[in-house]
Amino acid sequence: MGWLYRFHLKRALRDRGDMFWSLIFPLVLATLFYASFGSGKDLEQLNAIPTGLVKMTDADAGFDTFLDSLDGGLLELTVMKEDEAEAALRNGTIHGYFVSTTEPSLTVAGTDLEESILGALLDGYLQNAKLLRQIAEKNPLQLPAAIAEVSKSGSWVKATTVSGNETNHNLSYFFALIGMACLFGAFLGMNAAQSLRADQTALALRRSTAPMRRSRIVLGEMLAVFTIQFGNVCVLLLYLHFVLHISFGDRWWLLLPICLLGSITGVAWGVFLGSLRLASGLREGLLVGSSLLMSFLAGLMFGNMKDVVAHYAPVLNKINPAALISDAFYSISVYENPARYLGNLLLLALITAVLTAVSFVQLGRDRYDSL
């Protein structure tokens, strides 16, 4: 079995086309991402949260001033009427809207990171306003100094993980890129499936007539491409961290199961497509189109796309391997939520099991009148 595994390994590594898409292309795209917006230190300029502001007749002038100080930095503030704000919230134009009145309030549509930040801003303002009222009642002479101190709070705000490590929204692009890299293992998987079908290549024809159990040939082929794809994703991860200085948090060893299972899922997707009785060009077009579509929905081209999908069609994020891989990285690097991390891994494992089972059934059904 060992010699068979080594043979398949060497054969797959010599396929320059598949190696380009599964290894070189993700590295090039990562470099372009880094050249476009760096490692995320320009977060305040690039990732202002779209937010609405509804001013009532009894608007709180202090609250309005507080929000104005954040406009153009942490917030992208737009003054609206209440019905306009509700419509903008429904269609995803804004993440939430504040109502400025004697008791300021906030309305959001979800519980993602942006909505949590908006809630924290309102809570912080209300706590500071209460504190200032108490100081005004008990020690009015200290009020100017207290106001000056509270006004510095804008410089205290920064994006962090739960444990306090600095993070940034641009990570979503790199996480989606890793998801895409895992899915591009489908090129290796499709090639492997075609090399097992005697009606596709001369090599597959010779294998079909070899005096060896077909299960051993299939197992050796699958193990070889799994190994190569896992190595490719690990190279990408090392490049992101040590060359581009993208931070993945402190518990980096938990990223390896994501990369391993994501690589297996990508290869399984390619094997599944390769097992379908379709024209070669159609299979390849379906592979490229489906992989890019899943990567797009995971946030590869538009960072907030995964949140938009979660709002309007949440089930898509549960069956999209690229979104699951990206969310698993978020669960470890940003949210530090082990339950969410394990949930993503279980869904990936389920998808992989289904694809693998269907592929083996399809490949096992191949019968030929003559070879």
Query: Average pLDDT for residues 109-122, to the nearest whole number?
Result: 80
**Residue 220 in contact with residue 5, Cβ under 8 Å?**
yes
**What is the model's pLDDT at position 38?**
63
| Closest residue by Cα to residue 210 from 226, 218, 15 | 218
Mean pLDDT of 346-361: 91
User: Which of 82-87's residues contact partners 24+ apart within 8 Å by CB, and which partners?
Assistant: 82/54, 84/52, 85/52, 85/54
pLDDT band at residue 179, thresholds of 50, 70 and 90? very high
Taking 90 as the threshold, does the pLDDT of residue 112 lie above it?
no
Predicted confidence (pLDDT) at residue 355 exceeds the cutoff of 70: yes
Q: Is the pLDDT of residue 209 over 60?
A: no
Mean pLDDT over the full length of the chain: 80
- The whole-number average pLDDT for the span 293-318 is 87
Range with lowest mean pLDDT among 3-12, 35-44, 140-149, 239-248: 35-44
pTM beyond 0.85: the answer is no
- % of the chain exceeding 90 in pLDDT: 33
Confidence band of 40 (pLDDT split at 50, 70, 90): very low
Between 111 and 210, residue with greater pLDDT: 111
pLDDT interval class at 202 (50, 70, 90)? low
* 113 or 364: which leads in pLDDT: 113
pLDDT tens for residues 117-151? Answer: 888 888 888 887 787 777 777 777 665 665 565 55
The answer on pLDDT for 318 being more than 90 is yes
Which strands make up the sheet holding 75-79, listed edge to edge?
75-79, 49-55, 96-100, 105-108
Bridge partners for 51 per DSSP: 77, 96
pLDDT tens digits for range 14-25: 888 888 888 999
Q: Using N-to-C axis directions, what is the helix angle for 321-333 and 255-275, rounded to 10°?
A: 180
Query: Is the pLDDT score of 160 beyond 60?
Result: no
Is pLDDT at 68 greater than 80 in this prediction? yes
Q: What is the pLDDT of residue 168?
A: 58
Which of 5-9, 49-53, 76-80 is the least confident region? 5-9
pLDDT at 164: 46
- Is the pLDDT assigned to residue 342 strictly greater than 60? yes
Per-residue pLDDT, 310: 85
Residue 207 or 154, more confident: 207
pLDDT at 350: 96
Mean per-residue pLDDT, 50-77: 87
pLDDT at residue 371 tops 50 = no
Q: Answer yes or no: are the C-beta atoms of 187 and 229 closer than 8 Å.
A: no
